[in-house]
Chains A and B, each alone.
Chain A
């Protein structure tokens, strides 16, 4: 169980009423990790959605490339494949602060809840799509900038 005040700040749970937040909290546990501690590795089965309450988490796909690394901080979620059609983590996640407080959400528990209350499922997945879309756009900006620079260099 997780405090509802904490849960309603999570970017995909905003605007949900207490009844629904309370149902969601049944799928959640809070945990604290220390700097460098790993949460999961790329390629592992994605069994949990995660949210950052305090601190910062680093997501890494491949080393030595800035485009392959992302930071996730307060109220943001990560581990989104856990709710999608191919539930495999694409990044490795580790704590990137002295310590980080997290919410870990069991994806099967969430999916069962969404099947039972599809309106909740629709709202949360719409929020997830928004988050994914925003992060896609950020990545796209970076890629476009790089491709533009490559082209300028070719001229």
Chain B
């Protein structure tokens, strides 16, 4: 990510000095996408390495005649993580398509040629970045392999009702807790969204959990701690937390 001083911070640049990071400023462009926008397509020439600054990017494959959908997502990339490492692997073509899967995605686009020039001038830095990049690929390899034989998950949509009454009652704390839990689990089949008031201001913050094939469950008077439990027990294990259920 690029901080206020323009320094790029991401997993692939772990262990680099601030000065080295600052020198990256010349090599990246910041781009913004909306949910469902394609960032690059499978088969495109891979000239860039990308870093998610804000939001989440899904990597997946496409079927002819179909639009972007979480059904085809293989991996999710949260903020602070890199994607598009195929730019460093022959034949330098992207092997998956990437889509913005959060309401807004801000991404940094780094020219491969710029990075290669940077590594040639400073091989110690190049060595460190290559260790980081290989670690990222290895970690995703393990994750992909782990998910490859797992039973397919049902799709889940979690809605935090974020109207003025909900915010006043602490809905932001609920959103933050949910975002943290989702980032830790990294399951593309689970989506979060926000919406307005459901007309039950006295029970805010309200959260609706909708698991594919089951009736939606509305929770009432939620806080961060309750949200974490609902996520772990209901969303991940399928056990609704009846003590907090509104309907």
Q: How many residues of A contact B (CB 8 A)?
A: 38
Interface residue stretch chosen among A15-23, A92-100, A122-130: A122-130
Which of the listed residues A81, A118, A134 has the most CB atoms from chain B within 10 Å of its own CB?
Answer: A118
Does A58 count as interface, using CB distance less than 8 angstroms?
no
Tell me whether chain B's interface is mostly helix, strand or loop, or mixed: helix
A67–B145 Cα gap in the complex (Å)? 7
Given A126-B88, A133-B89, A136-B137, residue A90 in contact with residue B142 (CB < 8 A): yes
Does B95 count as interface, using CB distance less than 8 angstroms?
yes
Residue pair B130, A129 in contact (C-beta under 8 Å):
yes
A61–B134 Cα gap in the complex (Å)? 20
Does A140 count as interface, using CB distance less than 8 angstroms?
yes
Interface residue stretch chosen among B27-35, B121-129, B161-169: B121-129
Residue pair B127, A129 in contact (C-beta under 8 Å):
no
Residue pair B131, A83 in contact (C-beta under 8 Å):
yes
Q: How many residues of B contact A (CB 8 A)?
A: 36
The smallest beta-carbon distance between B121 and chain A, in angstroms, is 11
Residue pair B89, A134 in contact (C-beta under 8 Å):
yes
Does B135 count as interface, using CB distance less than 8 angstroms?
yes
Q: Which residues of A contact B72 (CB under 8 A)?
A: 147
Does A5 count as interface, using CB distance less than 8 angstroms?
no
Residue pair B137, A125 in contact (C-beta under 8 Å):
no
Residue pair A122, B126 in contact (C-beta under 8 Å):
yes
Residue pair A118, B127 in contact (C-beta under 8 Å):
yes
Residue of A nearest to B71 (CB): A151
Residue pair B127, A114 in contact (C-beta under 8 Å):
yes
- Since A86-B138, A86-B139 are in contact, a sample of 17 more A-B pairs with Cβ atoms closer than 8 Å, ordered by chain A residue number, is A80-B138, A81-B138, A84-B131, A84-B138, A114-B127, A121-B130, A126-B88, A126-B130, A129-B89, A129-B130, A132-B141, A133-B85, A135-B141, A136-B144, A142-B148, A151-B63, A151-B71
Contact sample, A vs B, 8 pairs, CB 8 Å cutoff: A81-B138, A84-B138, A86-B138, A118-B123, A118-B124, A129-B133, A139-B145, A140-B96
Interface residues of A (CB under 8 A from B): 61-62, 65, 67-68, 80-81, 83-86, 90, 114, 118-119, 121-122, 125-126, 128-130, 132-137, 139-140, 142-144, 146-148, 150-151
